[in-house]
Amino acid sequence: MNFKTLKEQAYEANMEIPTQHLAIYTFGNVSAIDRQAGVMAIKPSGVPYAQLKVEDMVLVDLDNEVVEGRFRPSSDTKTHTLLYRHFASIGGICHTHSTYAVAWAQALLPIPNLGTTHADHLIPAVPITEVMSDEMIQGDYEHETGLQILQAFEKQNLSPQEVEMVLVACHGPFTWGKDAAKAVYNAGVLEELAKMAYLTRQLNPSIGEIKQSLKDKHFLRKHGTGAYYGQEGYGG
Amino acid sequence: MNFKTLKEQAYEANMEIPTQHLAIYTFGNVSAIDRQAGVMAIKPSGVPYAQLKVEDMVLVDLDNEVVEGRFRPSSDTKTHTLLYRHFASIGGICHTHSTYAVAWAQALLPIPNLGTTHADHLIPAVPITEVMSDEMIQGDYEHETGLQILQAFEKQNLSPQEVEMVLVACHGPFTWGKDAAKAVYNAGVLEELAKMAYLTRQLNPSIGEIKQSLKDKHFLRKHGTGAYYGQEGYGG
Amino acid sequence: MNFKTLKEQAYEANMEIPTQHLAIYTFGNVSAIDRQAGVMAIKPSGVPYAQLKVEDMVLVDLDNEVVEGRFRPSSDTKTHTLLYRHFASIGGICHTHSTYAVAWAQALLPIPNLGTTHADHLIPAVPITEVMSDEMIQGDYEHETGLQILQAFEKQNLSPQEVEMVLVACHGPFTWGKDAAKAVYNAGVLEELAKMAYLTRQLNPSIGEIKQSLKDKHFLRKHGTGAYYGQEGYGG
Amino acid sequence: MNFKTLKEQAYEANMEIPTQHLAIYTFGNVSAIDRQAGVMAIKPSGVPYAQLKVEDMVLVDLDNEVVEGRFRPSSDTKTHTLLYRHFASIGGICHTHSTYAVAWAQALLPIPNLGTTHADHLIPAVPITEVMSDEMIQGDYEHETGLQILQAFEKQNLSPQEVEMVLVACHGPFTWGKDAAKAVYNAGVLEELAKMAYLTRQLNPSIGEIKQSLKDKHFLRKHGTGAYYGQEGYGG
């Protein structure tokens, strides 16, 4: 079994975090999963991006057991594995502390859909979890963080294929996608949406969401069978 | 017929979008037109700037037919061609999702003329279109986007030679100029005006537009027969 | 008579404008004066920084006559010469359109002295001129701009040696100093003070200026005979 | 006695100030201490970072006497030595004028703990000192600045090992840590916390601090005997 490609994908995606200015120092982490093997490659905990190497990626199975690696995996490992177990279609997960997304998470507010940049990527507001109870926090915290995300999607009847991002209340964003590259791409999109929505509400506090028809139009330009944005077989 | 120069002009102008931080990833697009041939070169849809090459530019005629190119053209193609058909003097068009300009577009507010940086480039507020009806959105959407721009200029009696920028409500900016380089230059100017006006209104929410005499003075320093800014035959 | 050094000083100082992000494209200009010759070197009008060369600097005397240069001088030339004629101690002048300083100028507000970063450089608020009358604007505009600056200093009894910066209402900042390098340094300081004061007032709209004793302490640490900041004969 | 390593540590940490955009020009300074020798290496006063060299670091003892160095030490030297004398566990101190941290200091507000990015680094709000009296300012000012910091920690019963940062009212941040590298790392963290808290309060002015259980959870993930973030013997 050769996980070299998986580790490379995880490494490349992790390095996008500082490149796109989505977190400082050691903050944030990305994982990539090999669904057949049931193994993910994830950033080691607390290693600065400037020192990170492909071989530092830690291999962990979906029971949170380290399969290979000289480093301890990200402290958020259990959140990643829970999401992989429940969101069967996803191939990569990204967690950042990007500034504007964190601000919305700390303000305990979902990010409203105020324009077509948002609608190009998702139709609803970026959802936000409930604030965790003391019991959850003092219990299996990172596992509970994942459960909060699942609960937010269930309560609002959201699909993880149509909504690839969430804010964990008081904390910050998690994003995902078909692979690790798409997961971190979504983290960059989310930060931009968060900044645009921040500025819009400062300019006009009473502005509401855009109309349903416009949301649908932009989302379906880029997603699904009628999509006509981008190139076939070209990502995007 | 040789469109090499046209494609190069379009390519160079498109690459200014990431260089000037006017959009992230694949967002935004610039086109350049050869008026004699009735053909424009435009960015292919959904291709990241880092991978873009001169030969990727797609040639499209003013009936929206692809003349040459292995890629699908920008999904905003019909907005470009409509503007070229109605604004006879322009040679390039740029569309970005620059952050502050999008914020004003999402806030459904024109950008007021609050100072000489604005007046150096245009006299009126940066106009904003009406919000589109459901019928327009569900119809020939990108064509309707162009019609909304034309209508905004007609209603406010604006000249596309004197006002080279507009905000599409709920969406973002379109800018243009005598060539593609000037179109993307105007996108950079617009983003700066949008940020300055944002900060000004945060500092002093009741501030109004500057006086007509100051608008005229600065605009006419740079434009028209009495202009004394810049160098003759030197752009700017 | 050899103005090579003067042109180099002006060029180096002009290139600090894009390096320190104090203006985009062709905006802004710096001049350096040779007091003995009564000649200043100033940026040519409308030339982008990326294309600017030492030999492009235009030599102009204090009667606004071009002494040497194949380009037209900055359109703000008459403001520079007026300030040189009245502020006998200064050796360089800088004009930018830096974003936060412009926002205060557009908001028609002086920048209050809210902390020691400000007091390290000047004791009073950064002054702002009156809004010009229609007659002034339609008259000898750039000369009148200079007169407005002189009037603001006279009315508030300010010394151009102790206060090396001003906001022109509806327009933006002018700064100066013993040489061109110091003038553009002051433009960078002013932009930082403008941003800090903006954020402070957003956090706490009712905050007032710091006490006189703290203003005096910080200013006199760096200026005058009792100064103990920096190194002797080392700029500052 | 060889202070080469100490000077190198101080130099490297000082150079992080411009690299992490924590101050412009000559603003800010870092020191590193050799506890056995009772000597610290500190940035010389008023020297721009671009010109700074390892051998420019000034060696000063804890009685503020220069031990070695051709330059005058930072004007904030007495604040550093006072903190070293009273905070026995620290090995480095950093002072910056980072923009958002200064804004909170100028607004006379502590930075509330609004999320897990904050709690990862400290449990309480970032404390702020009292405004100094005229007597303190006109007296031994930099020594009094240190006393204000000590008093703030005493009054709020804070430990300099658990809280490695403070805002000096009307001025800006001081941070520290086990060595100079950690001190300037904390300055970068503080600036990010200051920006996140600013944005959060703009979005939701009534938001309060996060619950105690969440503060404890995140802080103890990274600090103390039960910590499971990062790698053993790996910093961070």
Phi, psi of B218 (to 5 degrees): -70, -40
Measured from the Cβ of residue D179, the count of other Cβ atoms closer than 10 Å reads 18
Q: Is residue A228 assigned to a domain?
A: no
Residues 6+ positions from C144 with CB-CB distance below 8 Å:
C132, C136, C137
The two three-digit tokens of residue B60, written as one number: 């499209």
Greatest extent of chain A over all pairs of C-alpha atoms, in Å: 56
**How many domains are there within chain B?**
1
**Nearest to residue D193, comparing CAs of D173, D179, D170, D207?**
D173
Q: CB of D131 within 8 A of CB of C207?
A: no
Task: Tell me the mean pLDDT in the region B89-113.
Answer: 98
Name the neighbours of A, counting chains with at least 3 Cβ pairs within 8 A. Answer: B, D
Residues 6+ positions from B16 with CB-CB distance below 8 Å:
B22, B30, B181, B184, B185, B188
SS3 A99: helix
Interface size between A and D, measured as CB pairs under 8 A = 91
- Determine the pLDDT at residue A236: 38
Set of chain D residues whose Cβ sits within 8 Å of the Cβ of C184: none
The answer for B 179-198 residues in CB contact with C (under 8 A) is 185, 188-189, 192, 195-197
Q: Is residue D230 assigned to a domain?
A: no
The two three-digit tokens of residue C230, written as one number: 């920096």
SS3 A172: strand
- Determine the pLDDT at residue B235: 42
Interchain CB contact of C49 with B (< 8 Å) = no
Question: What digits encode the pLDDT tens for the residues A116-137?
Answer: 999 999 999 999 999 999 999 9
Please name the residue that has the structure tokens 């379009």. Answer: B10
CA nearest D201 in C: which residue? C203
H-type alpha helices, chain C: 4-19, 77-86, 99-106, 116-119, 134-138, 141-155, 180-203, 212-222
Q: Is residue D229 assigned to a domain?
A: no
- Determine the pLDDT at residue A233: 53
Residues 6+ positions from B103 with CB-CB distance below 8 Å:
A196, A199, A200, A202, A203, B194, B198
Q: Is residue B201 assigned to a domain?
A: yes
Orientation of helix A180-203 relative to helix B99-106, angle to 10°:
60
The whole-angstrom separation of Cα B145 and Cα B79 is 6
Residues of C with a catalytic annotation lie at 120, 229
Set of chain A residues whose Cβ sits within 8 Å of the Cβ of D217: 137-138, 141
SS3 A33: strand
Interchain CB contact of D221 with A (< 8 Å) = yes
Orientation of helix C141-155 relative to helix C77-86, angle to 10°:
40
Q: pLDDT category, B228, cuts 50, 70, 90?
A: confident
CA of C19 vs chain D CAs: smallest distance (Å): 12
- Determine the pLDDT at residue B177: 98
- Determine the pLDDT at residue D66: 98
The two three-digit tokens of residue D211, written as one number: 């619950």
* Cβ contact C171–B196 (<8 Å): no
Residue D164 pLDDT greater than 70, yes or no: yes
pLDDT, averaged across chain D = 96
Q: pLDDT category, A225, cuts 50, 70, 90?
A: confident
Distance linking the first and last C-alpha atoms of chain A:
30
Interface test with C, best of D43, D66, D106 (most C CBs within 10 A): D106
Residues 6+ positions from C101 with CB-CB distance below 8 Å:
C111, C167, C172, C173, C187, C190, C191, C194
Residues 6+ positions from C65 with CB-CB distance below 8 Å:
none
SS3 A165: strand
Complex ipTM: 0.96
User: From the DSSP assignment, how many helices (H) and strands (E) are in chain A?
Assistant: 8, 7
The whole-angstrom separation of Cα C50 and Cα C14 is 11
- Determine the pLDDT at residue D1: 53
Q: pLDDT category, D233, cuts 50, 70, 90?
A: low
Q: Is residue C43 assigned to a domain?
A: yes
The whole-angstrom separation of Cα B139 and Cα B5 is 35
Set of chain D residues whose Cβ sits within 8 Å of the Cβ of C214: 132, 137, 170
Interface size between C and D, measured as CB pairs under 8 A = 87
Residue D236 pLDDT greater than 80, yes or no: no
Domain span at residue D62 reads 4-223
User: Which domain CATH number covers B95?
Assistant: 3.40.225.10
Q: Is residue C235 assigned to a domain?
A: no
* Cβ contact B188–C25 (<8 Å): yes
Please name the residue that has the structure tokens 């060369």. Answer: C53
Going residue by residue through chain C (236 aa), what tens digit of pLDDT does each one get?
579 999 999 999 999 999 999 999 999 999 999 999 999 999 999 999 999 999 999 999 999 999 999 999 999 999 999 999 999 999 999 999 999 999 999 999 999 999 999 999 999 999 999 999 999 999 999 999 999 999 999 999 999 999 999 999 999 999 999 999 999 999 999 999 999 999 999 999 999 999 999 999 999 999 988 888 888 655 43
The whole-angstrom separation of Cα C166 and Cα C125 is 9
Q: CB of A81 within 8 A of CB of A23?
A: no
pLDDT, averaged across chain A = 96
Q: Which residue has the higher pLDDT, B181 or C228?
A: B181
CA of B28 vs chain A CAs: smallest distance (Å): 11
- Determine the pLDDT at residue C235: 41
Question: What digits encode the pLDDT tens for the residues D132-161?
Answer: 999 999 999 999 999 999 999 999 999 999
Task: Confirm whether pTM is higher than 0.95.
Answer: yes
Q: Is residue C47 assigned to a domain?
A: yes
- Determine the pLDDT at residue D231: 85
SS3 A186: helix
Q: Is residue B231 assigned to a domain?
A: no
Buried b (16+ CB within 10 A) or exposed e, C22-42: bbbbbbbbbbbbbeeeebbbb
For residue A42, list its beta bridge partners: A31, A58
SS3 B236: coil
Question: What digits encode the pLDDT tens for the residues D79-92?
Answer: 999 999 999 999 99
CA nearest B22 in A: which residue? A192
CA of B67 vs chain C CAs: smallest distance (Å): 35
Amino acid in position B117: T
- Determine the pLDDT at residue C175: 98
- Determine the pLDDT at residue B159: 97
The whole-angstrom separation of Cα D83 and Cα C211 is 25
CA of A58 vs chain D CAs: smallest distance (Å): 13
Task: Tell me the mean pLDDT in the region B129-147.
Answer: 98
Where on the phi/psi map is residue D224: left (φ > 0), alpha (ψ -120 to 50), or beta? left
* Cβ contact A170–D217 (<8 Å): no
**Nearest to residue C69, comparing CAs of C86, C55, C53?**
C55
Distances in Å between the Cα of D131 and the Cα atoms of C97, C123, D148, D154 are 34, 18, 9, 16
CA of C127 vs chain B CAs: smallest distance (Å): 16
Indicate the residue of D196, D228, D229 with minimum beta-carbon distance to A103.
D196
The whole-angstrom separation of Cα C85 and Cα C87 is 6
Residue A47 pLDDT greater than 70, yes or no: yes
